[in-house]
Amino acid sequence: MHDRDAVFSELRATLVELFELDPERITPEARLYDELEIDSIDAIDLMDRLRRQTGRKIDSDRFRSVRTVSDLVDTIHQLLNET
């Protein structure tokens, strides 16, 4: 069982490292594209990274509906708790 808060803090660390973002800006409500300037190409890099971190194959379709950091946390959280 993975805890949602743990997923958030790990994701925050990943975003900071990959995109050199200020950790303060990464709030659950922050919109990935408009506020954090993470575009579709970045999303691919991010997915690669998450794939390595979680060891799970991530289907890109699941990411199309992701808008905010919180959406992303939910997606990863769901993924980790799938059997």
Partner 1 sequence: MVPPVRTAARPFRDLYYVRLVTTGLSFLLFGLGGVLLGIVVVPLLLVVPGGGAARRTRIRRMIQLAFRFFVGFAHHSGAISFSFAGAERLGRPGQLIVANHPSLMDIVLLIAFTRDACCVVKREAWRNPAMVISVSAAGYVPNAPTDLMIERAAAVLSAGECLIMFPEGTRTVLHRAMHFHRGAASVALRAARVVTPVFICVEPPSLTKAMPWYQLPVPRAHFALRVGHDIDPVAFRNGPLPIASRALNERLAATYAAEGAGNY
The residues that touch partner 1, with contacts defined as CB under 8 A, are 17-20, 38-48, 60
- Report the sign of the C-alpha dihedral through residues 58, 66, 80, 10, in that order: positive
Residue type present at position 78: Q
- Report the sign of the C-alpha dihedral through residues 61, 49, 1, 5, in that order: negative
Shortest Cβ 83–partner 1 spacing (Å): 25
Helix (H, G, I), strand (E, B), or coil: what is residue 12?
Answer: helix
Which residue, 16 or 80, is less far from partner 1 as judged by CB?
Answer: 16
Which residue, 47 or 80, is less far from partner 1 as judged by CB?
Answer: 47
Shortest Cβ 34–partner 1 spacing (Å): 17
